[in-house]
Amino acid sequence: MTYRTTAIVGAGWISAAVISALLLAPPEAGAAPDAGQTASAGGEPGDRGSTEASETADEPSEDPIAAKEPDTTDEPSVVTPPRTAPKAPSDRVRARESLRSQGVLRRTGGHLASVTAPGHARIAQPGNVIAIQTDSSNSPEVPPAIGADEDSPAVPAEAHPSRPSPHTTTAVAPLPAATTTDRPHLRRPPSLINAVGTVVLKMLSALVHLLDGPPMLPAGSTVTVRTSTLTLPLGGGKAVEANWYFPEDADTATRLIYLQHGFLASGSMYSYTAANLAERTNSVVVVPSLSSNFLDPAAEWVGGGPMHRAVADLFAGDRTALNQSASAAFGATVTLPQKFALVGHSAGGTLVTAVAGHLADNGAVDDLVGVVMLDGVEPAGSHAVSDALSKLTGLHDVPIYLMSSDRYFWSRNGDMADKLTAARPDRFTGVGLTGGLHIDHLQGGNPFIQNAQYLIAGYSAPENVAAATEISVGWVNDLFAGTTSGVYGSPHQSIPIVTGAGTATAIVLPLRHVQRSPWRELVDGFFTVIFDQAGRNAFVYEPLEGHAVTV
């Protein structure tokens, strides 16, 4: 009964809207997706095609490390290092700098130093440390430093590579504020669906923002959260709300995390998730609230190409927009750390992966330490993830880790796990939580919103919520430090995660198939067909005819 209520409440309204829209749509608007929205058999939850990677795990491995490991599929085991250990950031940097000396690659990110002005306190900083210029007359006091507490991940590993040395960069002129992309933008013309659907989705988003309220911190948190406006390089500039989380000892923070919410959500819904990341990794965390209007003719939504490219361009050049937004939130001039990680939940997982691919295009990928997807979901018809994975190879390679829920409707039946393991079959790509649900990673302080999310996508087990935090914190700390101290292992390895709420179990990808009841199979299949059809025929991934934008 709980699952029936979940399915009806969560998808009833939108399924009715999509069905009505498709029935009212002119044939040319709904029947022929453009080249960027072609249906792919590999994207069907029931037919994996080339995206199914589980067969790979059954083949004999030629990896000497994997060959020596005992079979741990059926019984708990301690953590072992990845079959192919994550490449340390310093290794990638040395290789890229070598090519730059030959004129092969270019750098766009500049060195950001500390600031000094008459009447202000100067904080001496090394190259990658946040620099804060404060005015004692009207600026908030920075809390005294008590030392960064980078908690050890839940499960120790056997290998602890040394921390890479920071590298020096040189300042360069910032990129132009807006440049026209060379991608083709003109597609089919917008229809009545786009006009009416945009109005409905804007009203729904306004209701969500009204109900979620401001970001709230967990009890006892040492983090400071403040809100400001972030201007995205879309057209003449698109202003969005951004929540900034500053760790207690902000002036020593050397890490920046961009956290992206999922579909029909907002940044405030992730306030506990963001605060835990900020406090336990000693990072400045920014959580922008982006549009979820998948019918926007300009495709300026969390799943649209223009939005992905715009977010990527925030990290190019001197990062003026990010620094200005952080300064407005903090109440003093802030120069953000140069090194950053991308973290995203649900549709936000697709966004951060796509952004990583575009960073390879704009030259800012050098400062990206890695990507963490929290049950990432990509709609049918989108090719953002596959496009990004094709770019993030060789010298542009970055670690991408996924924490997946079980296969069910809200994870698109594990589609993201299948895509990632198919694209990177010989390396560690993440884990799935046994009994994991989509909302394990969406944790905030508004009880009404939190329980509504549980009602829609299923009530999370407390041990899985705690384990999701432990695993993500461990991965982020490793990405910045160049170590492998967190939760890793061999394909299908079972790893116990001991938490204060109980012991959870993580299974190393490829994602396994779980037995579901016939009723659940029927309901999941029904709504999957509806959303996949909408994803291929109605969702807008690139601007429609007459709606080209500059990025």
pLDDT band at 88 (very low <50, low <70, confident <90, very high): low
**CATH number of the domain to which 396 belongs:** 3.40.50.1820
Judge whether 308 lies within some domain.
yes
pLDDT tens per residue across span 482-512? 999 999 999 999 999 999 999 999 999 999 9
Among the listed residues 389, 484, 442, the one whose alpha carbon sits nearest the alpha carbon of residue 158: 484
Judge whether 134 lies within some domain.
no
The token pair at 50 is 């080339």
3-state SS string for 282-322: CEEEEEECCCCCCCCCCCCCCCCHHHHHHHHHHCCCCCHHH
pTM greater than 0.85 = no
Tell me the C-alpha distance between 290 and 302, whole Å. 6
Residue 244 has pLDDT above 60, yes or no: yes
Q: Which amino acid is at 477?
A: N
Question: 3-state class of 522 per DSSP?
Answer: helix
Among the listed residues 372, 404, 352, the one whose alpha carbon sits nearest the alpha carbon of residue 473: 372
Can you say whether residue 155 is alpha, beta or left, with left for phi > 0 and alpha for psi between -120 and 50 degrees?
beta
Judge whether 326 lies within some domain.
yes
**Count of domains for the chain:** 1
Judge whether 133 lies within some domain.
no
The answer to whether 537 and 33 have CB atoms below 8 angstroms apart is yes
Among the listed residues 449, 369, 379, the one whose alpha carbon sits nearest the alpha carbon of residue 410: 379
Judge whether 223 lies within some domain.
yes
State CA 174 to chain mean position distance: 26
Mean pLDDT within 360-376: 98
State CA 264 to chain mean position distance: 15
Residue 133 has pLDDT above 50, yes or no: no
Judge whether 138 lies within some domain.
no
pLDDT tens per residue across span 104-116? 333 333 333 333 3
pLDDT band at 546 (very low <50, low <70, confident <90, very high): confident
pLDDT tens per residue across span 11-55? 444 544 444 444 345 444 333 344 344 333 333 334 433 333 333
Mean pLDDT within 148-165: 37
pLDDT tens per residue across span 45-80? 344 333 333 333 344 344 433 333 444 444 444 344
When mean pLDDT is compared across 124-128, 266-270, 336-340, 370-374, the lowest value belongs to 124-128
Judge whether 391 lies within some domain.
yes
The answer to whether 122 and 114 have CB atoms below 8 angstroms apart is yes
Element (H or E) spanning 263, and its range? none
Question: 3-state class of 324 per DSSP?
Answer: helix
Mean pLDDT within 318-346: 97
Tell me the C-alpha distance between 164 and 167, whole Å. 9
Q: Which amino acid is at 109?
A: G
What is the domain range of residue 47? 2-102+147-537
Residue 180 has pLDDT above 80, yes or no: no
Judge whether 28 lies within some domain.
yes
51 Cβ neighbours under 8 A, 6+ residues apart: 42, 43, 415, 418, 419, 422
Mean pLDDT (the chain) is: 77
419 Cβ neighbours under 8 A, 6+ residues apart: 51, 378, 385, 386, 389
Mean pLDDT within 340-367: 98
Residue 551 has pLDDT above 70, yes or no: no
The answer to whether 482 and 163 have CB atoms below 8 angstroms apart is yes
Tell me the C-alpha distance between 334 and 319, whole Å. 11
